[in-house]
């Protein structure tokens, strides 16, 4: 999964109607703006530390960062921008929008001398998982025809774990505990433990077989927020959530922001309403996507997840 996704993201821009999938920041500016305001609110309640860094993990085209930084600036917060991105294609897209940002191949080189305001939107779902069939790890063989052939199993027999996700969560939590700051995680997932096979692949906005063309489709798995929270607590951070994305966005004021956008541009009112429905609706992203927050001891939690 790690090797396939490394090739996939390094070789293309998968976002948008002409790509393979669309993420929340590409649906509406409201998503990034509300995240930016939530981070600015935390910064204000933390006493407005003079130095702070905005960090985004897997920032796509940079759309969320642009919208969040604009909203933060309106609230008086102008942090340095640090983007954790390994894809040269996506780095180029991000640089067009955020020429002053600093890029990192991993979290190890992030600033260590200031509070971190971190966003991970649809980041953990792309980290590699392992699957267990009972006490045995599920393996993948190569057939005589060259195809990948996973050990046969029914979904009910499978449990999943993501050591990579837990390691990242604990490392970030340790950084927050030392430096101050918060992390907002938005992803599709569940409060585990849970049984079932959630590995999936998407190409051209349609589900495809995960093992059919490795490296040519986006491989993801549902995020176990319970496991992330336990790892973060072990790292020394406070944990809140998860809560459904729809409830969180409404608590942050998406309806008021939508009304303001529609009043400023009445011709966009239908488009704005459709975006709200997609981001918050129980039959769209509102229930499947969950929001969890981590905070350094002594720091306030972001609104909506407390």
Residue 254 is part of which domain span?
12-129+161-195+217-295
| Distance (Å, whole) CA 153 – CA 165 | 24
Residue 187 maps to a domain = yes
Tokens linked to 67 = 């919208």
Q: Per-residue pLDDT tens for 25-46?
A: 999 999 999 999 999 999 999 9
Residue 154 maps to a domain = no
Domain CATH code at residue 43: 3.40.50.12710
Residue 235 maps to a domain = yes
Asked if 201 contacts 208 with a C-beta cutoff of 8 angstroms, the reply is yes
**pLDDT of amino acid 105:** 96
Residue 141 maps to a domain = no
Tokens linked to 179 = 């430096």
pTM (2 decimals)?
0.95
Find the helix or strand (DSSP H, E) in which 276 lies: helix 269-280
Residue 304 maps to a domain = no
Residue 188 maps to a domain = yes
**pLDDT of amino acid 208:** 94
The total number of residues shown for the chain amounts to: 306
Is 51 exposed, middle or buried (CB count within 10 Å of its CB: 0-12, 13-18, 19+)?
Answer: exposed
**pLDDT of amino acid 18:** 82
**pLDDT of amino acid 306:** 76
Asked if 302 contacts 72 with a C-beta cutoff of 8 angstroms, the reply is no
Low-confidence ranges of the chain (pLDDT < 50): none
In the chain, the number of structural domains is 1
Residue with tokens 């109607």: 17
**pLDDT of amino acid 181:** 98
**pLDDT of amino acid 165:** 98
Residue 300 maps to a domain = no
């Amino acid at each position: 999964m790690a090797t396939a996704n490394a090739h996939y993201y390094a070789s293309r821009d998968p976002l948008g109607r002409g790509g393979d999938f669309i993420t929340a920041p590409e649906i509406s500016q409201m998503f990034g703006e509300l995240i930016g305001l939530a981070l600015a609110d935390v910064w204000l309640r933390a006493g407005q530390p003079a130095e702070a860094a905005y960090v985004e993990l897997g920032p796509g085209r940079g759309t969320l960062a642009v919208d969040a930084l604009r909203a933060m600036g309106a609230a008086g917060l102008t942090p340095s921008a640090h983007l954790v991105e390994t894809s040269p294609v996506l780095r180029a897209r991000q640089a067009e929008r955020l020429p002053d940002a600093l890029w990192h191949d991993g979290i190890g080189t992030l600033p260590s001398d200031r509070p971190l305001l971190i966003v991970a939107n649809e980041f953990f779902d792309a980290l590699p998982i392992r699957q267990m069939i009972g006490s045995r790890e599920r393996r993948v063989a190569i057939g005589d025809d060259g195809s990948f052939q996973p050990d046969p199993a029914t979904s009910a027999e499978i449990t999943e774990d993501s050591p990579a996700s837990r390691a990242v969560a604990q490392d970030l939590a340790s950084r927050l505990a030392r430096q101050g700051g918060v992390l907002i995680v938005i992803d599709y997932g569940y409060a585990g433990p849970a049984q079932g096979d959630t590995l999936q692949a998407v190409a051209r906005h349609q589900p495809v077989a995960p093992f059919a063309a490795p490296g040519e489709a986006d491989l993801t798995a549902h995020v176990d927020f319970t496991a992330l929270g336990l790892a973060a607590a072990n790292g020394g951070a406070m944990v809140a959530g998860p809560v459904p994305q729809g409830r969180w966005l409404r608590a942050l004021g998406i309806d008021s922001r939508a009304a303001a956008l529609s009043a400023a541009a009445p011709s966009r009112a239908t488009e704005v309403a459709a975006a709200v429905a997609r981001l918050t609706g129980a039959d769209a992203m509102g229930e499947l996507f969950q929001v969890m927050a981590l905070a350094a001891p002594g720091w306030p939690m972001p609104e909506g997840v407390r």
